A and B are shown apart, each in its own frame.
Chain A
Amino acid sequence: MRISDLIKMGLRNLSRRKARTGLTVLGVIIGTISIVIMVSIGIGMNNSFDKQFMENGAMTVIRIEQYGSIIDDEGNWLGSKEQVLDDNLVDMVRQVDHVKAVAPVLDTSAMLYSGKYETYISLRAIGHEAFAEFGYPELISGAYPTAENNRSVVIPSYVLENYFYNPNSRNYETVAIDPKEDELIFKFNEWRYVRNERKKEFKLDLTNVAIMEESDNWEHNSYVYFDMDYYKEIYTQYANTLKLEDRKKAMAELDTYSYIMINVDNIKNVTQVQEDIEALGYVTYSEMQYLEPLKQTSDMLQMVLGAIGALAMMVSAINIANTMVMSIYERTKEIGIMKVLGCLVKDVKKLFLFEAAMIGLLGGIVGIALSYLASFAINKYGGPLFQTLMQSSGVYDVGDAKFSVIPFWLPFLASGFAMLIGVLAGYFPARRATKISAIEAMKTDS
């Protein structure tokens, strides 16, 4: 038989039992919708998931903190451990495989003054190399500290715009400060150590200010950055203004770091590096560590969703097979006649496979069209339900996230899959059809 004749005959056969074909197609439509929607929800969830964790920090960074949190496999906080972070440890960590960069970090708090406005700031001192190695945001003006010029102080625009307030005002309204026009005075916190009365208070007039653009990562936005060497220099100056006993205490702070940042060459190696460092006796922290169990939950949820979809598809496959078997029973004599008239066995098989595949394809195409509608409806009206669903898998900040995302490849995959289901479901019935003997045509009862 020619392909065109095969198609014509197949379509004729499908259309002569319109109700039955329609119901079978309906089954495939439901199966396709459930698969497409379930997968699209899974993808939507993954997207918001990734987005949320990108906001929290780079995924390849590990930290060893002075007060390391002890976390169990499920991400629960069990307690903390104080650990000494010194240059010795920094060197040891540098030796670990897959470690791309290591940067010790000193955190402290300080004050910034600008005229009548002031603010507390968190100060972070890191080696100037780290700004490049750990992917800090772009600067709006100025430059990151370098070996030659380490006196640059990096202030996020977020701090400049949202932090400063007048302590004598009634409502503490914040004002934006422009370092190019407004003076900026830096001081260490007064309440920590007692000043030697005979010495002049330490003050630093910040003239070399670089402004960092606002970042998705909250951590970048909330610190004022100094180069480590420059920081040590001014800190020593500051310590010299303190009373003798406090001066020693203050200087001791420089010997141990607040934490050590480690950048790993590949996201896949983060867990491995963490294990290696923990083998040295230190507790580590990474976003991955939190992500892992959450990701598992999310994957699990996706699998459950996928399984529901697959189940619906399986039912429709059985449905197709049933329809084809029924159709073959009905057409036993017809198949016999076709054989007597010289129809090849393989043409009989092709005919039935084509019919089954058409049911699958038809259902697949209609199902995809309806899936887009359903996806639209979910994104528009499904908010409350899916917010709860996503929170159970660790995504809190859903915001304007899409719950159901149909990527361009999904409709092709789904219609292909539906057709494949049709062919698979039609295969055994089709084989059965080929076994029908031509003698059926010779029987006179009918």
Chain B
Amino acid sequence: MGVEPKKIIEVKNVRKIYRMGNEKIYAVDDISFDIYEGEFCCLLGSSGSGKSTLLNLMAGIEKLTSGQIIMKGQPIHKMNETRLARFRQKYLGFVFQSYNLIGTMTALENVELPLVFKRTPKKKRKTMAKEMLVKVGLKNRLQHKPKEMSGGQQQRVGIARAFVAKPSIVFADEPTGNLDTKTTMEVMNLIREIARDNHQTIVMVTHDQSLAEYADRVIRILDGKVQSIETIKEETNVEEENNGVVGDTADSNCVN
């Protein structure tokens, strides 16, 4: 990573308050941090810590109560629906925990979907989607419907869909939450590889400490606040150093 990395997401004093009857719930309470271009950033926190809300705020899916979120120099929190949609088309990709593939569409059509919304010409988007599916190792599954594939394969389709439009930022919300350990590793490596190849920024939300080691930086969230931000040392092979790193960085902080 360079000496002066470029900020791609700036989160400034962001608050999200839910009202439940007379009670105010500070789901995100005055959080500030930056995410740099090309980095793999992990928002780590237990369930209910506010990490998912934070991700939703960053992606413009939820409106924040106060503060600012600047993405690629543009204020996300001020955008209307249409501008947000166009921003998502251009710069954002999403990987979901439950894959969120459209059941009636084949793998190929699912991957094409973001390009369809973007009005990419038919031929071009077919080629792009195919390339992407080949890259995630689903060469033989192009015409399969989600139901005909395993969880790991579905998530690969999800990843292909997230990356197909070459977004600058990909948000991943518990991308391995429904997968077994082996598949988790495959999927995580896949995300990291693709992102690295294209110098894309990943923002991943997880409660699983063992996933944090795939990241360049881990931001721990607890009760709506940033507890710590840790930069993980540049390493070559995460799998090998697996146990050591996690043992060091993850204490009892996130046990909940």
Q: A2-B119, A441-B100, A442-B56 are in contact. Are A342 and B61 (CB under 8 A)?
A: no
Q: Flag if A341 contacts B114 (CB, 8 Å).
A: yes
Q: A5-B116, A437-B61, A442-B96 are in contact. Are A340 and B88 (CB under 8 A)?
A: yes
Chain B contacts with A in 23-37, Cβ cutoff 8 A: none
Q: How many A-B residue pairs have CB under 8 A?
A: 72
Q: Is A203 an interface residue (CB 8 A)?
A: no
Q: A340-B61, A342-B117 are in contact. Are A442 and B92 (CB under 8 A)?
A: no
Report the count of interface residues on A (CB-CB < 8 A). 28
Residue of A nearest to B125 (CB): A5
Q: Is B118 an interface residue (CB 8 A)?
A: yes
Q: A345: which of B81, B105, B165 is its contact (CB, 8 Å)?
A: B81
Report the separation of the CA atoms of residues A342 and B82 in the bound assembly, to the nearest whole angstrom: 9
Chain B contacts with A in 111-145, Cβ cutoff 8 A: 113-114, 116-119, 122
Chain A contacts with B in 335-384, Cβ cutoff 8 A: 337-347
Q: B100: which of A333, A345, A439 is its contact (CB, 8 Å)?
A: A333
Smallest CB separation, B150 vs chain A (Å):
18
Q: A2-B119, A442-B173 are in contact. Are A340 and B98 (CB under 8 A)?
A: no
Residues of B within 8 A of A16 (CB): 104
Q: Mark A36-66, 1 if CB is under 8 A from B, else 0.
A: 0000000000000000000000000000000
Q: Is B97 an interface residue (CB 8 A)?
A: yes
Q: A340-B59, A439-B61, A444-B97 are in contact. Are A345 and B102 (CB under 8 A)?
A: no
Q: Flag if A338 contacts B117 (CB, 8 Å).
A: yes
Q: Is A12 an interface residue (CB 8 A)?
A: yes
Q: Is B161 an interface residue (CB 8 A)?
A: yes
Q: Is A334 an interface residue (CB 8 A)?
A: yes
Q: A344: which of B61, B98, B117 is its contact (CB, 8 Å)?
A: B117
Report the count of interface residues on B (CB-CB < 8 A). 33
Q: Flag if A1 contacts B117 (CB, 8 Å).
A: yes
Q: Flag if A12 contacts B119 (CB, 8 Å).
A: no
Q: Is A446 an interface residue (CB 8 A)?
A: yes
Q: Is A321 an interface residue (CB 8 A)?
A: no
Residue of B nearest to A339 (CB): B85
Q: Is A438 an interface residue (CB 8 A)?
A: yes
Q: Flag if B82 contacts A337 (CB, 8 Å).
A: no
Residues of A within 8 A of B201 (CB): none
Q: Is B94 an interface residue (CB 8 A)?
A: yes
Residue of A nearest to B99 (CB): A337
Q: Is B152 an interface residue (CB 8 A)?
A: no
Q: Mark B171-210, 1 if CB is under 8 A from A, else 0.
A: 0011001000000000000000000000000000000000
Q: Is B147 an interface residue (CB 8 A)?
A: no
Smallest CB separation, B92 vs chain A (Å):
7
Residue of A nearest to B88 (CB): A342
Q: Is B154 an interface residue (CB 8 A)?
A: no
Smallest CB separation, B52 vs chain A (Å):
7
Q: Flag if B98 contacts A342 (CB, 8 Å).
A: no
Residues of A within 8 A of B86 (CB): 342, 344
Residue of B nearest to A333 (CB): B100
Q: Flag if B100 contacts A342 (CB, 8 Å).
A: no
Q: Flag if A341 contacts B82 (CB, 8 Å).
A: no
Chain B contacts with A in 19-72, Cβ cutoff 8 A: 52, 56, 59, 61-62
Q: Flag if A342 contacts B89 (CB, 8 Å).
A: yes
Residue of A nearest to B94 (CB): A340
Residues of A within 8 A of B52 (CB): 442
Q: Flag if B62 contacts A439 (CB, 8 Å).
A: yes
Q: A5-B116, A16-B104 are in contact. Are A341 and B61 (CB under 8 A)?
A: no
Smallest CB separation, A301 vs chain B (Å):
49
Report the separation of the CA atoms of residues A344 and B86 in the bound assembly, to the nearest whole angstrom: 7
Residues of A within 8 A of B92 (CB): 342
Residues of A within 8 A of B90 (CB): 342
Q: Flag if A1 contacts B116 (CB, 8 Å).
A: yes
Q: B161: which of A5, A9, A339, A341 is its contact (CB, 8 Å)?
A: A341
- Which of A16, A444, A446 has its CB near the most chain B CB atoms (within 10 A)? A444
Report the separation of the CA atoms of residues A347 and B113 in the bound assembly, to the nearest whole angstrom: 13
Smallest CB separation, B125 vs chain A (Å):
10
Q: Mark A167-192, 1 if CB is under 8 A from B, else 0.
A: 00000000000000000000000000
Smallest CB separation, A411 vs chain B (Å):
33
Residues of B within 8 A of A4 (CB): 122
Report the separation of the CA atoms of residues A334 and B96 in the bound assembly, to the nearest whole angstrom: 13
Smallest CB separation, A123 vs chain B (Å):
86
Smallest CB separation, A350 vs chain B (Å):
12
Q: Flag if A341 contacts B117 (CB, 8 Å).
A: yes
Q: Mark A322-340, 1 if CB is under 8 A from B, else 0.
A: 0000000000011001111
Q: Flag if B102 contacts A334 (CB, 8 Å).
A: yes
Smallest CB separation, B207 vs chain A (Å):
12
Q: Mark A210-238, 1 if CB is under 8 A from B, else 0.
A: 00000000000000000000000000000
Smallest CB separation, A412 vs chain B (Å):
33
Q: B117: which of A13, A333, A343, A437 is its contact (CB, 8 Å)?
A: A343
Report the separation of the CA atoms of residues A334 and B99 in the bound assembly, to the nearest whole angstrom: 12
Residues of B within 8 A of A344 (CB): 82, 85-86, 117
Q: Flag if A341 contacts B94 (CB, 8 Å).
A: yes
9 A-B pairs closest in CB distance: A342-B89, A342-B88, A342-B117, A438-B61, A343-B117, A337-B100, A344-B85, A341-B114, A5-B116
Q: List 17 A-B contacts (CB under 8 A).
A: A2-B116, A4-B122, A334-B102, A340-B88, A340-B94, A341-B114, A341-B161, A342-B88, A342-B92, A345-B81, A345-B82, A345-B85, A346-B82, A439-B56, A439-B61, A441-B100, A442-B56
Task: List 11 additional A-B contacts (Cβ < 8 Å) besides A342-B92, A439-B61, A444-B98.
Answer: A1-B119, A9-B116, A334-B102, A345-B82, A345-B85, A437-B61, A439-B62, A441-B61, A442-B173, A444-B97, A444-B174
> Using a CB–CB distance below 8 Å, which chain A residues touch chain B?
1-2, 4-5, 9, 12-13, 16, 333-334, 337-347, 437-439, 441-442, 444, 446
> Using a CB–CB distance below 8 Å, which chain B residues touch chain A?
52, 56, 59, 61-62, 81-82, 85-86, 88-90, 92, 94, 96-98, 100, 102, 104-105, 113-114, 116-119, 122, 161, 165, 173-174, 177
